[in-house]
Amino acid sequence: MDTIINSSTNFLSNSAGQQLSDENAILTESGFKWREREGIKMLICSALEAAGFANAFSTRSGGVSPFPDGDLNLAGFDEDTLENITENRRRFLNLFEREYALATAFQVHGDYVKAASTRESALQT
The pLDDT tens digits of the residues spanning 40-52 come to: 989 999 999 999 9
pTM, full prediction: 0.66
Does 31 or 121 have the greater pLDDT score?
Answer: 31
Cα separations (Å) of 47 from 3, 5, 6? 19, 17, 16
CB 65 within 8 A of CB 80: yes
Per-domain boundaries in the chain: 3-123
Bin 38: left if φ > 0, else alpha if -120 < ψ < 50, else beta.
left
